[in-house]
Amino acid sequence: MGQRVLAGLRVMELGHYVAAPFASRLLADLGADIIKVEPPGGDPARQWGEQVGGHSLWWSSHARNKRCISVDLKHRAAPGIIKRIAARCDAVVENFRPGQLDRMGIGPDALRAVRPGLIFAHISGYGQTGPDRDRAAFGVIGEAIGGLRHLTDHPPGTSDLPPVRVGISIGDSVSGLYAAIGLLAALWQRDRNGSDGRERTVDVALTESMLSLMEGMLPEYGMLGKVKQPTGGGIATAAPTNAYPSADDSWVLIAANSEPLFAKLMTLIGRPEIIGAPGYRGNQERVANVAELDRMIGEWTRQHTAVELARILSAADIPSSKVYDAADIAADAQYGSRAMVRTVDDPFFDRPVLHPGVVPRLEGDADDIRWPGPAIGAHTDAILQAVAGYSAVEIDDLRRQGVVA
| Segment 82 to 111, residues that bind a copy of itself, using CB under 8 A | none
Q: Which of residues 146-185 bind a copy of itself (CB under 8 A)?
A: 146-154, 158-159, 161-170, 173-174, 177-182, 184-185
Pairing of strands 320-322, 251-255: antiparallel
Position among 362, 375, 376, 395 found at the interface with a copy of itself (CB under 8 A)? 362
Q: Which of 219, 272, 279, 389 binds a copy of itself (CB under 8 A)?
A: 219
Do residues 252 and 310 lie in contact, with contact meaning Cβ atoms separated by under 8 Å? yes
3-state DSSP assignment of residue 120 = strand
Let me know: does 119 contact 183? Beta carbons within 8 Å.
yes
Which one of residues 1, 227, 315, 393 is an interface residue with a copy of itself (CB under 8 A)? 227
**Residue 192 in contact with a copy of itself, rule: CB under 8 A:** yes
Determine, following the binding rule CB under 8 A, whether residue 189 of this chain makes contact with a copy of itself: yes
Task: Return the number of other C-beta atoms located less than 10 Å from residue 66's C-beta.
Answer: 25
Q: Pairing mode, if any, of strands 320-322 and 51-52?
A: unpaired
Number of residues that this document lists for the chain = 405
300 scored as a contact of a copy of itself (CB under 8 A) = no
Nearest-angstrom CA–CA distance, 316 and 156:
35
Stretch near a copy of itself under the rule CB under 8 A, chosen from 70-78, 98-106, 278-286, 381-389:
278-286
From the list 74, 76, 103, 226, which residue makes contact with a copy of itself (rule: CB under 8 A)? Answer: 226
Contacts 24+ apart (CB under 8 A), 166-172: 169/18, 169/139, 170/139, 170/143, 170/210, 171/19, 171/139, 171/140, 171/141, 171/142, 171/143, 171/146, 171/206, 171/209, 171/210, 172/17, 172/18, 172/19, 172/22, 172/139, 172/142, 172/206
Query: Looking at 235, 275, 312, 395, which residue binds a copy of itself (CB under 8 A)?
Result: 235
In the complex, the smallest distance separating the C-beta of residue 400 from a copy of itself, rounded to whole angstroms, is 29
Q: How far apart are CA 53 and CA 81, in angstroms?
A: 32
Q: Is 102 a catalytic residue?
A: no
How does DSSP assign 250-304, residue by residue?
-EEEEE--SHHHHHHHHHHTT-GGGTT-TT-SHHHHHHHTHHHHHHHHHHHHTTS
Question: Binders of a copy of itself among 117-146, rule CB under 8 A?
Answer: 125-127, 129-133, 135-138, 140-141, 144-146
Binding letters toward a copy of itself, positions 36-55, x by CB under 8 A: --------x--xxxx-x---
- CB-nearer residue toward a copy of itself: 247 or 323: 323
Cβ neighbours around 98 below 10 Å, total: 19
50 phi-psi bin (left φ>0, alpha ψ -120 to 50, beta other): beta
CB of 389 to a copy of itself, least distance (A): 25
Q: Can you tell me which of 99, 102, 197, 213 binds a copy of itself, judged by CB under 8 A? A: 213
Q: Does 77 bind a copy of itself (CB under 8 A)?
A: no
Closest CB to a copy of itself among residues 349, 371:
349
Q: CB of residue 64 vs a copy of itself: minimum separation in angstroms?
A: 10
Quick one: 76 or 338, whose CB is closer to a copy of itself? 338
- 371 near a copy of itself, rule: CB under 8 A: no
Q: Which of 75, 84, 88, 228 binds a copy of itself (CB under 8 A)?
A: 228
Residues that bind a copy of itself (rule: CB under 8 A) add up to a total of: 159
By the rule CB under 8 A, 10 interacts with a copy of itself: no
Backbone dihedral angles phi then psi of residue 377, each to the nearest 5 degrees: 70, 15
Contacts of 160 (CB under 8 A, 6+ apart): none
The span from the CA of 304 to the CA of 299, in Å, is 10
User: Of 279 and 352, which has the nearer Cβ to a copy of itself?
Assistant: 352
The region of 72-80, 271-279, 315-323, 392-400 touching a copy of itself under the rule CB under 8 A is 315-323
Site for a copy of itself in 332-351 (CB under 8 A): 332-335, 337-338, 340-341, 343, 349, 351
> Which of 172, 294, 365, 368 does the annotation list as catalytic?
172
Asked if 30 is part of the footprint of a copy of itself (rule: CB under 8 A), the reply reads: yes
Catalytic residues: 172
